[in-house]
Amino acid sequence: MIETTLQTVFPDLTSSEIQQLAAITTTKKFAVNDVAIPQEFDMKAGQPRRVLMIIQTGEIEIFRHEEGFQQHIASRYENEILGEEMLLEPEKVHQLSYRSIVETQALVIRRIDMEQLLLDQPEMARKIYRQLAINATRRLEREDHPVRCHSERDSMGEVQIPNDAYYGSQTARAIQNFKITGIPIAHFPKLIKSLAIIKKAAARANSEAPNLKRVPNATMGLTVGEAIIHACDEIIEGNQFLQRQFLVDVIQGGAGTSTNMNANEVIAKRARELLGFPKFHPDGNPVDPNDDVNMAQSTNDVYPSAVRLTLMLTYTELTSAMQELIAAFLAKGEAFASVIKMGRTQLQDAVPMTLGQEFRAFGVTLEEDIDKLERNVPLLGELNLGGTAIGTGILASPDYRARVLDEVNHILHNELNLWRIAVRPALDLVEASWDTGVFVLFSGVIKRIAVKLSKICNDLRLLSSGPLAGFGDIRLPAVQAGSSIMPGKVNPVIPEVVNQVAFQVIGNDLAITIAAEGGQLQLNAFEPIIAFNLLQSMQMMTRAMRTLTTHVQGIVVTEQDKQCLRERVEQSPGLATFLIPVIGYQAATKIAKEVISSGHSVKDLVLAQGIMNETQWEEFMHPDNLTKPYRPATQAS
């Protein structure tokens, strides 16, 4: 058996050479999850390899310890070699470890024996070194292909799971079933964090349950409940190894069941590792995603609670971006406070104003909506946790509901220092299990902000239009070339992209409204699209406003621009409105018409008709007189 395996692995060796190699080869059996075995068969990271192993049956995993995680690198199977670096790089200290995944039998050759044999047999050494190099090259090529998988079984049957995955069968099926947006739920890390907070709170609330008090591995000394809590903490802290395992598409059937199970499976597998077991091919099932991680829970109370919690954790990013943009507009309002210009209604000249007033108004209109968002946040804190399937609380203990909400608040306040948000029980769990009204309300405020923001961007594009044939009131920062054919053209691309974000947010709000209306009986099955559109709207709006803030800060008005804007005021028939108290409505109308027909400015006509002299005109044209409550003195008789 030994010689057959050696001949397969080293086909160039003669029968005599195979016999010599077999003479220094021993057979070793590994139990499931063997990592450290007798010293001569070292499988740990941190020192040079001292043995060469050839697998006869079974599977050996190569993994790396990084940030407390056992990161899968590759697996080796029948007739494959482990530890060839023993000869190819004899002094290199390696950072990879080996572990048997199933019962495995391997041939083992000690480095000291192999080196002596090859020293005595140089031709044999040449053949072995050549074969090891070929194997290494072929393996690199092969490992560019899909990763090896293993089988896991659930109620639907067997399913293939990548060996490096922390998720399980239900997640794997969901990945195959819901190839919709290509955006995994991991795209929204606060949603993953919220799920982990709820799972941690549930494990604490259920800590006295017999299944969570089990200690599957006396060496580790952890209960199942403690391992679940530790795994949740790693997700809450944002560990990327686990974050990347949330691969279910954000839009999915099943009212969010796939998202809930993705969390249950990842937490369960990480908890198994923390208990000293491999995350897959476990010897038994020390942590079950349904019985343990999902204890006293249903997707129907976990998922909507997680979405509500996510919105509470996320909205401050949006309001922070709003405050930055508001500050930028108000700062420009101050900077442009003395820049006189014509206001416009229906794209026609109206009456004078300052550019500062225009920009201040942009800031004020957005400022109003921060309060609107803040007022809705407490409504999001009303959770249906403990209602389980339809709000009746089936399979949860009578005191679980109060305990789990207390634990959520404890995590938010005492552990994460998030005192600004709190959760409380829904008044009626049956109603709360299907009611999505708060999402409609919250989305409506975000849509309102988007509508205002889009209107502001429309204004910025008009005000900067030109540079010669448009309004030309302001100069937006030039951020990129505007045409592939017209030299020197610069477009208002930042306001344009913000417009498009607003259009998307408005469309998202409609989708949320329809999805909320589409619920039936004791559940709304369409909460995933509600969650996706709400989170996408908030994320896009936050990024859009930060992009626009930088742009607004770069807006300038040159001295030449200021003079041009003043001349337009003096030339505009709209200025005749201010002459009504001086000469009456009919006379002011005649001046306005003459301005339009003759091309003369209002100033020219006022001075020519003796209505005012130069000094009076300059006083009349002071920005405070034209842009604040003011009534010119009636002309003396």
Supply the residues annotated as catalytic: 483
CA atoms within 13 A on the CB side of 93: 2
Percentages helix, strand, coil for the chain (3-state, rounded to 5) are 55, 10, 35
The four Cα atoms 18, 23, 26, 27 give a dihedral, to 10 degrees, of 50
In contact, 185 and 175? CB cutoff 8 Å: no
Q: Return d(Cα 196, Cα 194) in angstroms, integer.
A: 5
Beta-sheet strand order (sheet of 104-110)? 25-30, 104-110, 51-57, 81-82
Q: Look up residue 278 and give its amino acid.
A: P
In contact, 44 and 50? CB cutoff 8 Å: no
Q: Dihedral sign, CA of 265, 269, 272, 278? A: positive
- Structure tokens given for 178: 């819901």
Range 275-291 burial, b when 16+ CB lie within 10 A, else e: bbbbbbbbeeebbbbee
Q: Return d(Cα 296, Cα 294) in angstroms, integer.
A: 6
Q: Return d(Cα 76, Cα 55) in angstroms, integer.
A: 7
Q: Return d(Cα 398, Cα 375) in angstroms, integer.
A: 32
- 27 CA to centre of own chain: 50
Residues in the chain: 637
In contact, 179 and 249? CB cutoff 8 Å: yes
- Structure tokens given for 485: 């054919």
Q: Which of 633, 564, 576 has its CA nearest to residue 600?
A: 576
- Parallel, antiparallel or unpaired: strands 424-425 and 382-383: parallel
Q: Which of 588, 570, 589 has its CA nearest to residue 635?
A: 588
- Structure tokens given for 341: 């210009």
Q: Return d(Cα 625, Cα 476) in angstroms, integer.
A: 29
Q: Return d(Cα 378, Cα 626) in angstroms, integer.
A: 45
List all residues 6 or more positions away from 81 whose beta carbon is below 8 Å from its beta carbon.
9, 52, 53, 54, 55, 132, 135
CB neighbours of residue 184 within 10 Å: 18
- Structure tokens given for 459: 């204004």
In contact, 325 and 548? CB cutoff 8 Å: yes
CB neighbours of residue 523 within 10 Å: 18
